[in-house]
Structure 1
Amino acid sequence: MANIKSAKKRIKVTLVRTERNKAIRSKVKTAIKKVESAVAASDKQLAQANLKNAVVEITKAASKGVYHKNNASRKVARLSKAVDSINA
Structure 2
Amino acid sequence: MANTPQSKKRARQNERRNAVNKARRSRIRTYLRKVEEAIASGDKDAAQTALKNAQPELMRGVTKGVFHKNTASRKVSRLSARVKALS
Interval of TM-score (by shorter of Structure 1 and Structure 2): over 0.9
Structure 2: segments with no counterpart, 5+ residues: none
* Offset of residue 11 of structure 1: 0.3
Q: Which amino acid aligns with 2:62?
A: A
Calculate the TM-score normalised by the size of structure 1: 0.95
Q: Is 1:54 matched with 2:54?
A: yes
Provide the secondary structure at the position in 1 that maps to 2:11. Answer: helix
Provide the secondary structure at the position in 2 that maps to 1:86. Answer: coil
| Number of positions where the alignment pairs a residue of Structure 1 with one of Structure 2 | 87
Distance in structure 2 (CA, Å) of the matches to 1:70 and 1:25: 16
Calculate the TM-score normalised by the size of structure 2: 0.96
Q: Which amino acid aligns with 1:82?
A: R
**Quick one: percent identity of the two aligned structures?**
48
- Structure 1 residue aligned with 2:84: 84
CA RMSD after TM alignment = 0.8
